[in-house]
Amino acid sequence: METIPQLFNYAVEQYRNQPVLLEPTDGNSISILSYLQVRERMQQFAGYLQSQQAQKGERIMIWSASRADWLIAYFAAVLLGMVVVPVDVNSKEDFITRLIEATDARFLLTTRKQFETLPSLPLTFIDIDNLPQAAFDPSALPTIAKDDLASLVFTSGTTGQPKGVMLSHYNITSNVLSAVEVVDIRPQERALSILPLSHMFELTIDLAIFYVGASVTYARSLAPDTLFRLFASQRITLMVLVPQVLQLFMNGIDREVRRQHKEKIWEQLHSVAALLPFSLRRYLFGSVHKKLGGHFRFFVSGGAYLPPVLGSRWENMGVRVHPGYGTTECSPVVSVTRKHDHHMESAGQPLPGVEVRIAPDNEILVRGPNITQGYWNNPEATAAAFEGEWYRTGDLGFLDKQNRLYIKGRKKNLIVLSNGMNVYPEDVENAFQGNIDLKDVVIMGLENEDRGPEVHAILLMEQPDQAKARAAIQQANKRLASHQQIKGFTIWPESDFPRTHTLKVKRQEVFSKLTTLRKEQKIH
């Protein structure tokens, strides 16, 4: 199975009348589409694109929140050999304009409200709230080869200028099929989607769900009460998310425990649960499982580093968490933990068909059918990203004897002290796990005129408090090695750090702000 239309056709013929795409409508009702209904709507929209003389290789941009019609439009476009340019719904208008110009997109699929924020552009607007339809002509379909482009995905750009990652049909389908081999996604599984389909992590998992005969519900709101209602009403069994969201869920549980003044009992339950077989732990935490609808099986965490303490905290409560690792350039999954080889500190073993090796400087290199063809109209960046057939991820890590991959952090974020010792920011950030006075923390190297680079903490607090900040630093330093010691801190002056659409901190923007605060002598 080498192309996305082949995957689509296989699933539709296998599961025909089973429900697959669900989403809330106005009120409390749920729209449910079967595989056959999805195919019908897909062909109607493909017919419209044919009526507009859409050509193989032309770009169609989707600028929308995740929803059933997003995926339906995607299937229609790739069936016609078009290249989908998915863009986060929260992207700014000037960014959208630049991407349209850079990709020479011919169609833009978005809401009318969003389209009207843009300047006049030479392309066709398609209202995603009312997908147009026309007669579909299967005899006019082009031949799709496995190496034909399917998606042009612009990286989130936590630092620097975003680049357009070119992903072929086989890049994507090979990743989907490999993931299905090792992730325990069963037929009749019911997933809840909260991540943007513009992110390859969500799109790949949704394609995997489609392939195995499961279903996905697209949440229209991220409000906790709304999500918990969906967990219960749709009997959700799995969810893919980023660590930041997993932390937000945990923070909500911890707040409720504190509100009931049950902190001591709660910690005792965690201590007992850690000694029990996994299958028995859920009985100690019935209230958590009830909140998750009573049928929930596991989270898959990706898109950023998962602190092991956070994952273990969930597993103590009988909720399995599968950390994974990947990049957009890898379509995106490189590795994931297995059900029967579950080490929370690692990102699991590479997927079948995907090879990982560690360079002499500890950079993670990846090779396989999932690796990008390169960057759109950027041969220099493409050349710099490869060492022969091996993609240079820019991440640091190591492999153990069982071929499990461990992530140490971004190469560009590594802090090299004047004595030559290396400090990985993620290791230091982990030392703050469990501190209820902090919402988040970022560790950076800050240059000292006399002593060279030093470890500096930027603290995000619900209520800024110098005494609590100093106490948090002291507590963290007790857990850290001598070369990891935090020498200074800054309380972040805003309500949150600047973030990407997957909630990763934009470190370059934080560093720029930190430089300004340093000039104003607002760091400690």
Residue type, 214: A
DSSP 104-149: T-SEEEE-HHHHTTSPP-SSEEEEGGG-------GGGPPP--TTSE
Write the pLDDT tens digit of every residue in 330-383.
999 999 999 888 889 999 999 999 999 999 999 999 999 999 999 999 999 999
> CA–CA distance from 387 to each of 14, 225, 391 (Å)?
41, 48, 6
Q: How far is Cα 350 from Cα 170, in angstroms, rounded to an integer? A: 18
**Shared-domain flag, residues 485 and 505:** yes
Q: Is residue 376 part of a domain?
A: no
User: Which residue bears the tokens 């999954």?
Assistant: 333
Among 42-46, 165-169, 285-289, the minimum mean pLDDT is found in 285-289
**Shared-domain flag, residues 246 and 131:** no
The mean pLDDT value of the chain amounts to: 93
Specify the higher pLDDT residue, 247 or 56.
Answer: 56
In this prediction, residues 164-180 reach a mean pLDDT of 98
**Shared-domain flag, residues 205 and 224:** no
Q: Is residue 391 part of a domain?
A: no
In this prediction, residues 443-447 reach a mean pLDDT of 91
Query: Nearest to residue 171, comparing CAs of 399, 393, 2, 40?
Result: 2
Among 162-176, 186-200, 471-485, 493-507, the minimum mean pLDDT is found in 493-507
Whether the pLDDT of residue 27 is over 80: the answer is no
Instruction: Give ∠ CA 227-228-231 in degrees, rounded to 5.
Output: 90
Q: Is residue 404 part of a domain?
A: no
**Shared-domain flag, residues 221 and 198:** no
Beta bridge partners of 32: 22
Q: Is residue 374 part of a domain?
A: no
Q: Is residue 394 part of a domain?
A: no
Question: Residue 349 in contact with residue 409, Cβ under 8 Å?
Answer: no
**Shared-domain flag, residues 432 and 350:** no
**Shared-domain flag, residues 142 and 226:** no
pTM as predicted:
0.89
**Shared-domain flag, residues 157 and 234:** no
Q: Is residue 362 part of a domain?
A: no
Q: State residue 215's pLDDT score.
A: 98
Residues in contact with 400: Cβ distance below 8 Å, sequence separation at least 6, in sequence order: 346, 406
Q: How confident is the model at residue 132 (pLDDT cuts 50, 70, 90)?
A: very high
**Shared-domain flag, residues 272 and 324:** yes
Whether the pLDDT of residue 52 is over 50: the answer is yes
Write the pLDDT tens digit of every residue in 59-114.
999 999 999 999 999 999 999 999 999 999 988 898 899 999 999 999 999 999 99
Q: How far is Cα 450 from Cα 91, in angstroms, rounded to an integer? A: 42
How big, in percent rounded to 5, are the helix, strand and coil portions of the chain?
A: 35, 25, 40
Domain membership of residue 431 as a residue range: 414-519
In this prediction, residues 123-143 reach a mean pLDDT of 97
Among 55-59, 109-113, 426-430, the minimum mean pLDDT is found in 426-430
In the chain, % of residues over pLDDT 70? 98
Number of domains in the chain: 3
Sign of CA dihedral 166, 170, 174, 180: positive
Q: State residue 523's pLDDT score.
A: 62
Q: State residue 159's pLDDT score.
A: 44
Choose the most confident range, by mean pLDDT, from 36-50, 217-231, 452-466, 474-488: 36-50
Q: How far is Cα 198 from Cα 71, in angstroms, rounded to an integer? A: 10
Q: State residue 524's pLDDT score.
A: 62
Q: How confident is the model at residue 288 (pLDDT cuts 50, 70, 90)?
A: very high
Q: Is residue 408 part of a domain?
A: no
End position of a domain, from candidates 194, 212, 230: 212
End position of a domain, from candidates 319, 338, 355: 355
> CA–CA distance from 147 to each of 54, 62, 169, 188, 370 (Å)?
20, 22, 6, 32, 11
**Shared-domain flag, residues 287 and 418:** no
Q: State residue 522's pLDDT score.
A: 61
Among 248-252, 417-421, 519-523, the minimum mean pLDDT is found in 519-523
Residue type, 242: V
Q: State residue 158's pLDDT score.
A: 43
3-state secondary structure 148-202: CEEEEEECCCCCCCCCEEEEEHHHHHHHHHHHHHHCCCCCCCEEEECCCCCCHHH
Among 14-18, 243-247, 387-391, the minimum mean pLDDT is found in 243-247
Q: State residue 304's pLDDT score.
A: 84
Coil, helix or strand for 92? coil
How does strand 452-461 pair with strand 438-448? antiparallel
End position of a domain, from candidates 339, 355, 371: 355
Q: How far is Cα 67 from Cα 128, in angstroms, rounded to an integer? A: 10
Q: What is the CATH number of the domain that holds 328?
A: 3.40.50
Instruction: Quote the DSSP letter at residue 341.
Output: B
**Shared-domain flag, residues 242 and 313:** yes
Q: What is the CATH number of the domain that holds 479?
A: 3.30.300.30
End-to-end CA distance of the chain: 57
Q: Is residue 398 part of a domain?
A: no
Distance of CA 372 to the CA centre of its chain: 18
Question: Residue 304 in contact with residue 501, Cβ under 8 Å?
Answer: no
Write the pLDDT tens digit of every residue in 379-407.
999 999 999 999 999 999 999 999 999 99
**Shared-domain flag, residues 83 and 47:** yes
**Based on the number of CB atoms within 10 Å of its own CB, is 402 exposed (0-12), middle (13-18) or buried (19 or more)?**
exposed
**Shared-domain flag, residues 232 and 331:** yes
